[in-house]
Every structure is written in structure tokens, then in C-alpha cells.
């Protein structure tokens, strides 16, 4: 081969032996390596926060439930009548327990053996500007020492001075009625739940009458 052929081969050096080719390869490999690096999480970001709850954040849910329960208990406590003569006033009504009687009956109408007639006289005043109807069946539930009891017609008849708690209740007017039961003579507590929502179809809620056998 002549000198001219050898010179031409040197000029046509293989492409992978050229310096700029390797420079490009170095840049490519370096770029791929930087992209594959795993970034360690920052301790400031990943660490659980122990900062106190601010005023703008929602309160802890269990604490909120406790507060609502305590509020409901306070409201319920203010809607209890525990003595004769006490009253509770709601949005539309004022309820008063006037008497707790034990009618004896007569020879033709007596309580059963080991039992006695017990009647509670209530006064309900309509302080609203609407007319309502009072129903002893729909509005009142009674419990003797925790056990459900029904009204007694015999006990109702035994006290002729007061009618049953049924009738119309016009705006600004009052109704007086009796809830009568036949209970064991050793009864300790008579609870009467008054559902004023059934009467007014409003938010008057319930009143509890809790009377002791003295």
C-alpha cells in the first residue's frame, strides 16, 4: 500500500475514537445518573407535626361530642319537674304540676290488692298565638320505678274533681287535667314524660316530671 493510502486511512479515523464523541457520552451518562439519584425525605416535612391546634382549625372530634353531650344534659336538667308546684316554660307552653293525689275510691271502684290509685294534676298554659289540642294518649308516657305503666280509667273515675288531660288549648288559654294510675303501694318513683313536640309540632321538646312516693 502506498503512502497516500495510509494517510487517507489516518484521516478516516473510526468515529468512536474522536474526542468529541466521548465528550457527548460523558454528558449523557452524567445526566442519566443525576436523574436516578433518590432524594432523601426532609425531616422537617416528613416528621409528624406536634404543633398545637390553632383557633382556625376544627376541634378534636371526641371533645366536640363531649361538649354537645354536656350541653344536652344541662338542657335536660332544666326541663325536669321534681316537686309539686314547680313549672317549666318552653317556647310555646308553661307546664306546672299542681297536685299529687291518692284517691281512695269507693266500694264499687277500689284499687287491686296491694295497689293504690295515684293521680298527678297538671296545668298547661298556651303562651303562643296559635291554637292546639291536648291528647293524653299522644303526649304522655309514664314509668313506675323504671317500668312502663298505662293510665287507669278506674283511678281517673276515683277523682271526680279533675278531668282527664284532653281537650282544646286556644292561644293564651290554660287547661287543667289529671293523669291517673294504679300502682303498687310500695312504688318509689313516678316519671311522666310530656312530649310537647307532639302537641305543637315544633321544637318545644320534652319535659320530665319525676315525683317521689312520700
Residue 12 belongs to some domain of the structure: no
Residue 142 has pLDDT above 80, yes or no: yes
Question: Domain for residue 72, yes or no?
Answer: no
Please compute the mean of the pLDDT values over residues 102-127 and round it to a whole number. 94
- For residues 153 and 54, the model is more confident at 153
| 197 and 203 Cβ atoms separated by less than 8 Å | yes
Beta bridge partners of 80: 208
| In-domain check, residue 88 | yes
pLDDT at 4: 55
Residue 79 lies in a domain: no
So what's the pLDDT on residue 126?
96
Tally of structural domains, the chain: 1
Question: Does 171 reside within a domain?
Answer: yes
CATH of the domain at 129: 2.60.40.1240
Within a domain: residue 187? yes
| Residue 31 included in any domain | no
**What range defines the domain where residue 127 resides?**
84-212
Alpha-carbon distance values, 126 to 23, 130, 168, 172 (Å): 98, 8, 10, 5
Would you state the torsion angle of the CA atoms of residues 83, 89, 93, 94, taken in this order, to the nearest 10 degrees? 40
Burial string for 34-72 (b: 16+ CB within 10 Å, else e) reads: eeeeeeeeeeeeeeeeeeeeeeeeeeeeeeeeeeeeeee
What one-character-per-residue DSSP string does 35-54 give?
HTPPPPPPHHHHSPP-PPPP
Q: The C-alpha cell of 131 is what?
A: 291554637
> What's the chain's average pLDDT?
80
- The answer to whether residue 57 is domain-embedded is no
Which of 30-34, 41-45, 95-99 is predicted with the least confidence, judged by mean pLDDT?
A: 41-45
Amino acid at each position: 500500500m502506498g503512502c497516500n493510502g495510509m494517510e487517507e486511512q489516518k484521516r478516516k479515523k473510526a468515529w468512536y475514537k474522536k474526542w468529541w464523541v466521548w465528550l457527548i457520552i460523558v454528558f449523557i451518562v452524567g445526566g442519566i445518573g443525576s436523574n436516578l439519584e433518590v432524594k432523601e425525605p426532609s425531616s422537617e416535612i416528613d416528621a409528624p407535626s406536634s404543633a398545637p391546634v390553632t383557633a382556625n382549625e376544627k376541634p378534636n372530634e371526641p371533645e366536640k361530642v363531649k361538649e354537645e353531650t354536656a350541653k344536652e344534659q344541662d338542657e335536660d336538667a332544666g326541663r325536669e319537674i321534681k316537686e309539686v308546684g314547680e313549672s317549666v316554660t318552653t317556647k310555646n307552653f308553661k307546664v306546672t304540676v299542681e297536685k299529687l293525689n291518692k284517691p281512695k275510691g269507693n266500694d264499687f271502684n277500689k284499687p287491686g290488692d296491694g295497689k293504690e290509685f295515684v293521680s298527678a294534676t297538671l296545668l298547661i298554659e298556651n303562651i303562643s298565638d296559635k291554637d292546639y289540642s291536648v291528647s293524653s294518649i299522644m303526649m304522655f308516657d309514664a314509668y313506675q320505678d323504671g317500668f312502663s305503666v298505662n293510665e287507669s280509667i278506674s283511678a281517673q273515675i276515683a277523682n271526680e274533681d279533675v278531668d282527664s288531660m284532653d281537650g282544646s288549648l286556644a292561644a293564651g288559654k290554660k287547661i287543667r287535667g289529671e293523669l291517673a294510675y294504679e300502682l303498687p303501694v310500695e312504688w318509689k318513683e313516678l316519671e311522666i314524660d310530656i312530649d310537647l313536640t307532639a302537641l305543637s309540632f315544633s321544637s318545644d321538646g320534652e319535659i320530665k316530671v319525676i315525683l317521689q312516693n312520700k
